[in-house]
Structures are given as C-alpha cells and as structure tokens.
Chains A and B, each alone.
Chain A
C-alpha cells in the first residue's frame, strides 16, 4: 500500500510569513497533485507535477516534485489570510490502476 505522509499536520502563522508543507513517501509516484479544500467544500486542484525535480509556481505558491518522485513540497511566500485552508497532496502510483492516494492533509491558518 502506498502512503503519503504530510507535515506538519497543523500550521498557524502570521500574515506575511513564509512556510513550507511537505509530502513524503517511501514509494515512487508517477505524478503528484496538490489540492486545497475550504470548509464545507470539496478539494480543488492547485497543481500537478509529473517529472522528478519539476518546479511549478502559482503566484506566491511554489510546488516541487522530488528528484526520485517520492516526495513533494509546497512553499508559500508572504502568506495571506486567503491562503487559509486544508492542503492535500495526492499521488498516482506507477503500477496497476492509477487511483489517487491522498495524504492526511495540512491545516493552514494565516492570522491577520
């Protein structure tokens, strides 16, 4: 069974600070996605990374896929209250049916 571990599980910081969220596994994934979930809503896709070492930027958010495709990180620069939410990483295995495996999530709170 492929598992994804996210850290930290909870993070509360002040507006303007930088932060990094990690998504780690002992398994190799063919691709990795990051979703953001607001209270009372379903997750919404932020980015998909497919190549080892790939870096993608979405405004103040930077996503990186590890060289060995076993881990990923999400870095937020100058966090804003609107970044508050649950961030989920999800990976697609390299063998068998390509179902998504989700991490347990990082609940991020940005205080004004």
Chain B
C-alpha cells in the first residue's frame, strides 16, 4: 500500500500566484486533514474532512480552500499566495477521529517569494 501520497514535494511560488497541493490515500479512510508546520510551531490544522462532500475549517483556514469529491483525494488550494504561507504542508488520514492514528504523507515544502 502507498498510504498517503502528496505532490509536489517542493514548490516555489511568486506572491499572488495560485496552486493546488494534491493528496491521496488508499486506506479507504473517511477522515482526512491538512496541516501546516512552521519551524518551532508544531502542526496547525488548516482544513479537515469527515467524508466525501464534507469539509470544515480548522485552526488556520484563511487563504486556503479544499474540496473532497472522492474518499481518496483531498486537494488543498492556495489562492493569491503570500509569504506567510511559506511552510511545510502535511496531509493526513485516519479511520476515525479521537484516539485513532493519523497517517501522514511525506509533506510539500512551499516557498512564496
């Protein structure tokens, strides 16, 4: 099994550009998450989804959008990129919330200049 996959691995954006970070999982998990990780700040939840067609905001949703048309895919859209969005982005999935393990992808390192 591939688990959780993310593309691209690295990306440099200019201020004002847009892009989509791709995330896919093959574990048939209903729950999927997007986090950002800044140096010394741990992981902050951007958006999450409890199933296809259902998404909700996390702690830091501003500047991002998500969609969940299938169980497998959970893309994250950045509109009008800003330097504050320079970070490492992780996608994760889990069977359920709470005590259940979250499986993380390898991350996308994004730089906005």
Contacts and interface: CB of A to CB of B under 8 A. Distances in A.
Interface in A28-87: 30-31, 33, 40-45, 48, 50
17 contacts: A6-B42, A33-B99, A33-B101, A40-B106, A42-B4, A42-B92, A42-B106, A43-B43, A43-B102, A44-B104, A48-B99, A88-B42, A97-B97, A98-B98, A100-B45, A100-B102, A104-B42
Interface SS of B by simple majority = loop
A18 B90 CA distance: 31
Given A42-B107, A48-B99, A103-B42, 13 more contacts: A30-B98, A33-B99, A42-B90, A42-B106, A45-B101, A48-B101, A88-B42, A90-B43, A92-B97, A92-B98, A92-B99, A99-B45, A100-B102
Contacts of B107: 40-42
Across the A-B interface, the 9 shortest Cβ-Cβ residue pairs: A42-B104, A98-B98, A98-B97, A102-B42, A104-B42, A102-B43, A45-B101, A31-B99, A92-B98
Contacts of A102: 35, 42-44
> Number of contact residues on B: which range applies?
20 to 34
Interface of A: 4, 6, 9, 30-31, 33, 40-45, 48, 50, 88, 90, 92, 97-100, 102-105
